[in-house]
């Protein structure tokens, strides 16, 4: 019950990592604002979680993020924690990217994280404290074929988070970063299916061979360290990037 009584605002929570964080955070005694571009998916996540609300948000829109954060704050009366995780995957050689496609990648990941900071931090400052975990990736740390704009966006999130963490530390707000390896979610399953010639399990097994633990991760294996970083267990930890990748980046 390490997050008992706390309120979490999370984006991308209709699926994958943020849904797992919303589920675990609720099991740990908190309540969650489940925001996603896909409102039906957000509602599905929230329906199983005691005290949760579902919100529609497009994290590339300043107005939409402002409204979603405002609605969550109005409903719960406070926001203690945040996990801005909305994201997209898109691979191609760099010469095939239009500027519009590139900007979509940057504005979804880096812009979405920036907007969440912009509208959540004043609330946390007024409360004299809060905790945020942002989502980078091993792609922020090592090169991956056809994934340069994603890697750039994720590296941007890493440094944006560290910079802001320093700015708000004296206000009692902690900001940490999680950098997952390959985790089986709605984002990666189509990639595993493609890699496995139509066979999800085969493709996931092939993807897992890239790391010393010889398997891909499951969403709750990210949710557990995220909920630790959001909780008071991590009360002296800020600006830290926790790599959770089955050892992928140590070899
Ligand atoms: N799964 C992995 O292996 C992995 C690894 C490293 C980092 N990540 C990152 O973790 C985060 C979550 O990914 P996931 O694997 O859970 O993916 P997912 O596809 O399962 O979930 C992403 C969610 O984000 C939502 N979304 C997309 N664009 C949005 C927008 N503009 N506004 C609001 N919501 C939007 C989608 O509707 C979806 O529900 C992403 O930032 C991703 O880049 C994932």
As a whole number of angstroms, the distance between CA 85 and CA 13 comes to: 8
Number of domains composing the chain: 1
Distance, in Å, from the CA atom of 40 to the CA atom of 186, rounded to the nearest integer, reads: 15
* pLDDT number for residue 248: 97
Predicted local distance difference test score (pLDDT) of residue 144? 95
Decide if 129 contacts 172 (C-beta within 8 A): yes
Task: Please check whether residue 234 lies inside any domain of the structure.
Answer: yes
Residue 201 forms part of a structural domain: no
Ligand 1 atom with the shortest distance to the CA of 182:
3
pTM across the whole model: 0.99
pLDDT at 88: 98
Q: Would residue 206 count as lying in a domain?
A: no
**Exactly one of 119, 150, 192, 236 is catalytic; which is it?**
150
Q: Look at residue 33 and give its three-state secondary structure.
A: strand
Print the SS3 string covering 66-121: HHHHHHHHHHHCCCCEEEECCCCCCCCCHHHCCHHHHHHHHHHHHHHHHHHHHHHH
Is 212 contained in some domain? no
Say if 211 falls within a structural domain.
no
**Res 216: pLDDT:** 98
| Percentages of the chain per state (helix, strand, coil), in multiples of 5 | 50, 15, 35
Pocket test for ligand 1, best of 45, 83, 187, 221 (most atoms within 8 A of CB): 187
CATH number of the domain residue 152 falls in: 3.40.50.720
Ligand 1, closest atom to CA 13? 39
Measured in degrees and rounded to the nearest 5, phi and psi for residue 239 equal: 70, 15
Confirm or reject: Cβ of 243 under 6 Å from ligand 1: no
**Residue 36 host element (H or E):** strand 31-36
pLDDT at 132: 99
203 Cβ inside 6 Å of ligand 1: no
Centre of ligand 1 to C-alpha 149, Å, is 15
What is the widest separation between alpha-carbon atoms in the chain?
52
What token pair was written down for 205? 């097994």
Residue 30 Cβ inside 6 Å of ligand 1? The answer reads no
Q: In testing the pocket of ligand 1, which one of 13, 17, 132 has its CB within 8 Å of the most ligand atoms?
A: 17
| Known catalytic membership, residue 236 | no
Asked whether the beta carbons of 127 and 84 are under 8 A apart, the reply is no
Give the containing element (helix H, strand E) for 8.
Answer: strand 7-11
| pLDDT number for residue 240 | 98
The answer to whether position 149 is within a domain reads yes
Residues of the chain with pLDDT under 50: none
* Contact (Cβ atoms closer than 8 angstroms) between residue 215 and residue 208: yes
Answer whether 245 contacts ligand 1 (Cβ < 6 A): no
Q: Examine residue 196 and state whether it is found in any structural domain, yes or no.
A: no
The whole domain housing 49 covers: 7-181+217-244
Cα separation, 62 vs 17, whole angstroms: 23
Tell me, using a 6 A CB cutoff, whether residue 84 lines ligand 1. no
Task: Give the DSSP letter of residue 233.
Answer: G
Does residue 186 sit within a domain? no
Residue with tokens 């800020």: 238
The alpha carbon of 170 and the centre of ligand 1 are apart by a number of angstroms equal to 31
pLDDT at 47: 98
């Amino acid at each position: 019950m390490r997050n008992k009584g706390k309120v979490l605002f999370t984006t991308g929570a209709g699926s994958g990592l943020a849904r797992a964080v919303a589920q675990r955070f609720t099991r740990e005694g908190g309540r969650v604002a489940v925001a996603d571009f896909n409102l039906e998916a957000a509602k599905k996540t929230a329906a199983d979680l005691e005290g949760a609300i579902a919100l529609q948000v497009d994290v590339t829109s300043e107005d939409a993020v402002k409204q979603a954060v405002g609605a969550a704050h109005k409903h719960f009366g406070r926001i203690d924690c945040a996990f801005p995780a909305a994201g997209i995957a898109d691979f191609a050689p760099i010469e095939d990217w239009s500027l519009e496609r590139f900007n979509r990648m940057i504005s979804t990941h880096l812009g979405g994280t920036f907007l969440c900071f912009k509208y959540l931090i004043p609330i946390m400052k007024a409360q004299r404290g809060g905790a945020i975990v942002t989502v980078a990736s091993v792609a922020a740390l090592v090169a991956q074929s056809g994934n340069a704009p994603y890697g750039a966006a994720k590296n941007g999130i890493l440094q944006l988070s560290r910079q802001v963490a320093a700015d708000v530390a004296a206000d009692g707000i902690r900001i940490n970063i999680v950098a997952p390896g390959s985790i089986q979610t709605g984002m990666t399953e189509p990639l595993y299916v493609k890699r496995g010639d139509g066979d999800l399990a085969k493709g996931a097994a092939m993807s897992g061979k890239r790391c010393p633990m010889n398997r891909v991760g499951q969403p709750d294996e990210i949710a557990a360290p995220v909920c630790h970083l959001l909780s008071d267990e991590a009360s002296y930890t800020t600006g830290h990037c926790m790599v959770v990748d089955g050892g992928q980046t140590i070899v």
